Structures are given as structure tokens and as C-alpha cells.
Amino acid sequence: MKMSVGRMPHGFRNLITDVPGIQVGHCTVDEGNCHTGVTVIMPPVKNPFTQKLTAASHVINGFGKTLGLVQVDELGTLETPIAITNTLNVGKVHDAMVSYMANICERDGVKLTSVNPVVCECNDSRLSDIKRRPIGEKEVLAAISAAAETFEQGAVGAGRGTTCYGMKGGIGSSSRLMEIDGKVYTMGVLVQSNYGASDDFRDACLPEGLAECDQGSIILIVATDLPLSHRQLKRVLKRTSVGMARLGSYIGHGSGEIAVGFTTAPAQPIGGSFQARMMLNEDLMNIPFRAVGECAEEAILQSMWHAPADTALDGSPIPCLKDYIKEIKP
């Protein structure tokens, strides 16, 4: 879908994987009344525990059940891949990520006594029997194994059972290019969209009968190769809410809106008394602010555009954005 979102240029794929080295993988479960999954964002290092990336998180509205954000904000580093799933599978995915990292460290001869997996979630109980919790180690490892630079969007992985503005939501992504001092850097966003009241969606005249309550959640994963400090990353993450607001969200009480981000430049090695690093001049922060706002807005739209219409467990129809656009723009 070609969208006129913002004015900055897209990356080659218009995906978070335009940030060099990033890969994304899904595992989708469609069994009986379970329509859910897991999505994993892989950092561009062989062992994220020994090559820690500068990271941050920002809680826009805290109606969520994420794991790992406390340490990310305290230490300013990421030491595992980031996993996204549904609300009641967070614990099982966290356990699977511990096993994965233990194996990676054993392979590398690294003693592992503690690790901080980052696991995020949205509640997909409208389309999936969430109490069954079908996502475990097998599914997490399958998502990791499937990770690649090109990946599906829409109703796949962690987005299989989500809804957005009363329509089918899912996984969406976008990227922007930022030229600074003659060098081009990339900003990428991946979302798991599951929020928004239909009446608030910016393109009015939605079909009647859609859900009217702003609750559910959205997870926004931000990656960039722009050199930023932990504090600067947190400032950038706050601007993901701009993309949400431009689509009409007022960020409701019952919706968990959480952003997690990292920069791939440079990784932080273990050891040494001092660490020198480069970071962006604060006077130029408007560049990544605009880039992340545009990425977030377009990623949400992409998550809806690529997701087909579906049916909730209670039999109610869930329309898709493509059908809606056909209806109002023949």
C-alpha cells in the first residue's frame, strides 16, 4: 500500500528491517479457537547478552503486562531479542527466551546467571481462546528460526488475533531515512495494533456496528542505527504517540500503550572501566522525532491494510480496512 504519511523518505523495504542487521520472525497458531502467535525482533548481534545495545522504554498508558522494562530503563541496555505475544502467554514466552539465551551463552562459553528478556503483549481474547496459552518454547524458537529481513504483515504472529479501531489489526511496520552530515541513518517501527475506538478513527464514516471502546493495547518497537543515548531514545519513544494521535486515538484508560526501542550503534561490550560513545547533537533531535512519528502512524495503517476481515469468537464480524476503503473510495 502506498500511503502519503509524512514527508520523509522510506527505507528500501519500508520495514523495521531497513535498519541494517535487524530481522523479524513470526509463528502463528490457528488451532480450533486459538488464533494467536508470537513475533520476535532479532537485534543484529550474535549474542545480545555480551553485545548489549543501548535501549529504552516508554509507557504511554500502563494497562499492560510486559516483562523486562524495569531493567531496560535502569541500565539502558537490551540483552535479548524482543518478543511480542498475547497477554496470558507472556510468562511462557519469557521462559522460552531464558532457555534460548542460556543456550546461546553456553555455545559462546559465557556464564549466565541472570538475563532480562523483554516480552510485550496485547490481549487478543476477542478472536482467540486466550486461556489456552498455546505459545511456548517450540513456537518461540520457530519464530526465531523464521526471522528474516522480509516478513509478513497483518494477521500473523502476535497480530493474528488483534483488532484496531474496530477493524482487523495485526503486525505493521514502516521506516524512514534521515540524512545528517551527509550520512543516511534509518528509523524503523514495528507495531502490534490492538487499540482504538472506531468513532475516533481519523477517516470518518466507518461502517456501523464496530466496537466503540478504546481499549486493548498497542506495542510499538523502535529500532534505529542513529547514535542516540538512553535518554535520547526515551525522548524518541515518547513521539510514537504522535502517530497514534494522528490516527485519532486519545489513548484510553483500558489500553496498554507501550514503546520499546534500541539503537544498533554502537553495541556495548562487557568489561572495561570506561565506555566512549557517540550520540546525536541535541539540537538535531527534531529529525528522529519526526521520523518515529511518521513511522508509527504508517506502521499502524499497514497493520490494518494487510489484515483480512475476520470473525470474533462470539460470531460478530470484524471488517478490514481494505473493505472499508473500497466502500468509501470506489
Active site residues: 217, 255, 257
3-state secondary structure the chain: CCCCCCCCCCCCCCCHHHCCCCEEEEEEEEECCEEEEEEEEECCCCCCCCEEEEEEEEEEEECCCCECHHHHHHHCEECCCEEEEEHHHHHHHHHHHHHHHHHHHHHCCCCCCCCCCEEEEECCCCCCCHHHCCCCHHHHHHHHHCCECCCCCECCHHHCCCEECCEECCEEEEEEEEEECCEEEEEEEEEEECCCCHHHCCCCCCCCCCCCCCECCEEEEEEECCCCCHHHHHHHHHCHHHHHHHCCCCCCCECEEEEEEEEEEEEEECCCCCCCCCCCCHHHCHHHHHHHHHHHHHHHHHHHHCCCCEECCCCCEECCHHHHHHHHCC
